[in-house]
Structure 1
Amino acid sequence: MAEFDIVLYGATGFTGRLVAEYLAQRYGDGGVRWAMAGRSLSKLEQVRDEIGAPAGTPLLAANADDPAALRAMVARAGVVITTVGPYQLHGEPLLAACAAAGTGYVDLCGEPAWMRQMIDKYDDAAKASGARIVFSCGFDSIPFDLGVWFAQAEARRRFGRAAPRVKGRIRAMKGTFSGGTFASAKASIAAAAQDPAILKLMVDPFSLAPGFAGPHQPNGMVPHYDDAVAAWVAPFMMAVINTKNVHRTNFLAGQPYGADFQYDEMTVVPGLGEVGRAAAEAVAKLNPLSGNKGPAPGEGPSKEARESGFYDIAFVAEMPSEERVTVSVKGDRDPGYGSTSKMIAESALCLLRDVPAEGKGGIWTPGALMPEALKARLEAHAGLTFAVE
């Protein structure tokens, strides 16, 4: 048995601190043996004291560019939570250490080219060691990954088969993307500009499903009126990673959604008629990554802003018969920080307590490895609701 159930790596960053606070408040009664880790012991001590964690909370010093220290750290953990990104710049040594040691791993990665590179390099090692590596355990991409899974479960219950087409539609959202998401997106764009192979992975909807070439996918970049939600829709920034994770889930699970499955994500814009059209076209022209307007890693909104945030996402499963079913996933905190910090913590605990480790080594999505158990945890503890409409 590992010395610690969970080691939280990156606990002094903005999101890492929120995860530490959540663990201390919900699981600080001794039910979970956890430790805070990062580069500086003095900063870890400061965060521990500021969030009200017990004075005896273990603190571990390890640097992302010190493989030996990382190997020593993961050897003491059942699962490592890492919030240290961009992962393409800082993530590989920790992932490699977990894959070699058989240690569980969850992150917040939304960098598809790096994820594919890690799958190619470490999936076999993780299978051999029994390490369960789970990418994208935050707003990208749990609500979307599990939302599609939930919609397909309802389609099978109602129609007797999975839907060949699902639409993800963000109906409402208050909050901001995290500084880490912004930095990761900027790093991905910079890498793609330098390497055509990375650009190819970025644009391929099946780049996280090695060896599978699926059907043509809907173009989520063109504003249009969508009768499935009776509104105009526009491009959604995070579709570039979420759609790939959904297709990877289908791939890893043996294609329960079908080999011909199509999926896209768009955001609903307010307004009827020409007003709605104009709003959708205006959103499509926006570039959220232009300039340096996003939050920097380590920065984030106030507690009040996080707690007043929310999101509401519809998933419309459409059948060839033109029948459809709509489900929703809603969160009670801002997506990039408040909700994400709870989702990644519960993902780690789901690995520890709810998912048998035997024969489950490899690099996973939440939706392929633990959809039902994680959905139950998120509804019980993390402020998410899943409903059939």
Structure 2
Amino acid sequence: MGKNREFDVVVYGATGFTGRLVAEYLNAQYGVGGDLKWAMAGRSDKKLAQVRDEMGISKDVPFVVADASDPASLKAMAERTSVVLTTVGPYQMYGSDVVAACAEAGTDYVDLCGETPWMRWVIDTHSATAEKTGARIVLSCGFDSIPFDLGVFFLQDEAKKKFGSTVPRVKTRVRAMKGTFSGGTVASFRSTMAEAGKNPDVIKILQDHFALTPGFSGPPQPEGNKPEYDEGLGMWLAPFVMAPINTRNVHRSNALLGHAYGKDFVYDEMMLAGPGEQGEAIAKMIAGDTSLMSDDAPKPGEGPSKKEREEGMYDVLIIGESGDGKTIKVGVTGDRDPGYGSTSKIIAEAAVCLAKDDVVEGGGIYTSAPAMGLTLVNRLVANAGLTFKVEG
């Protein structure tokens, strides 16, 4: 771990749409010249200065020039900071040299990745180096997958208090969501689909619920890829677009936590579509949605207005079921649109948590729960507009 370096956190990609929101948040939340030493990184001083001024960020924020096409510049950046926060995706196109530089320099790392095949490549390629240097590489530190991964972790912690043990079955149901997915998410999805079209191994990874737990495969998991009726909730359920990445991360968390949720753990995520015929119709409409592949989908660098971000939100219900039929329910909410407003605050707090808090010590390729756990939950509640609450 790169402690006592020039910077605590460097925001790489600070001139992109999400990166500039991260920089704006750090400036507002932590200021400059205080306890948190942070910098903005991108391809040119000129563009960084332009973004800094547009976003009303302090002129005292330092700049680091780094470019994905220049590995030496990435190495130099990694060696100057305790944590690299990167918003530069798709990661399979622009992230490999960044994560390599951090693993080799013993520098902690957070990203917004939802690209399962690339994440598996990072695990296979960089685990040994990160373990040796102490670099804590934490993938998927935005809306995918922190509210879900930490939500399950929080539920299991509460289940231990209530039942004396964790629960083997957890269902996540998205109750409400307002906001758009980021252009980066769309680009990542398309890059992954393009790769899958060329490489059958990528398809295998995408279909495997345990793709991120090499050496372990648990029980069969629900697919959640078509509408279904939930008798217990009296509601129709629809597929949730982020489930294919969130579920893989939750299973990795379980494995990294020594299978604290059990080796028989079963987990799925779906959206609530409502009751009756109308609920069924909405579920079918959601299941048939192809907007991520349409020409109207957001492009990288594009995003909603400040008003749209502030009017966005999400509300997630997580239900745990014990082996003897008892249940526990947890709600997780966010006060901004998931793809930009909330994601930018979440990843910023994850980076600060690694830089400043007493969390996991050993290096390796992590998910949020085993790396930061309830420490990050508390940060997100205190600073980033999230709630984690037991509902029953």
Scaled by the length of structure 1, the TM-score of the pair is 0.97
Q: Which moved more, 1:223-232 or 1:110-119?
A: 223-232
**Rounded Cα–Cα distance in structure 2 between residues aligned with 1:219 and 1:25:** 41
Equivalent residue in structure 2 for 1:4, among 2, 7, 10: 7
CA contact (8 A) 1:105 1:348 kept: yes
For 1:1-389, list aligned pairs within 5 A: 1-30=4-33, 31-270=35-274, 272-356=275-359, 358=361, 360-389=362-391
How big is the shift at 1:29?
A: 4.2
**Rounded Cα–Cα distance in structure 2 between residues aligned with 1:228 and 1:327:** 16
State the one-letter code of the partner of 1:346.
Answer: E
State the one-letter code of the partner of 2:145.
Answer: S
Identity fraction in percent: 57
CA contact (8 A) 1:249 1:368 kept: yes
Relative distance call for 1:356 and 1:317 in structure 2 (3 A) is: closer
CA contact (8 A) 1:130 1:357 kept: no
Q: Which moved more, 1:298-307 or 1:31-40?
A: 31-40
How big is the shift at 1:356?
A: 4.6
Q: Which moved more, 1:349-358 or 1:299-308?
A: 349-358
**Rounded Cα–Cα distance in structure 2 between residues aligned with 1:314 and 1:181:** 23
* Structure 2 residue matching 1:115: 3-state secondary structure: helix
How big is the shift at 1:105?
A: 0.5
How big is the shift at 1:292?
A: 2.1
**Rounded Cα–Cα distance in structure 1 between residues aligned with 2:74 and 2:312:** 35
State the one-letter code of the partner of 1:301.
Answer: P
**Rounded Cα–Cα distance in structure 1 between residues aligned with 2:300 and 2:290:** 19
**Rounded Cα–Cα distance in structure 2 between residues aligned with 1:229 and 1:287:** 27
Q: How many residues align?
A: 387
CA contact (8 A) 2:83 2:351 kept: yes
CA contact (8 A) 1:228 1:316 kept: no
* Structure 1 residue matching 2:293: 3-state secondary structure: coil
**Rounded Cα–Cα distance in structure 2 between residues aligned with 1:134 and 1:280:** 33
Q: Deviations over 1:247-271 (max 9, x none)?
A: 000011100000000000000113x
State the one-letter code of the partner of 1:387.
Answer: K
**Rounded Cα–Cα distance in structure 2 between residues aligned with 1:386 and 1:228:** 23
* Structure 2 residue matching 1:152: 3-state secondary structure: helix
* Structure 2 residue matching 1:93: 3-state secondary structure: helix
Unaligned runs of 5+ in 1: none
Q: Which moved more, 1:287-296 or 1:113-122?
A: 287-296
Q: Deviations over 1:94-128 (max 9, x none)?
A: 10000000001000000000000011000110000
* Structure 2 residue matching 1:133: 3-state secondary structure: strand
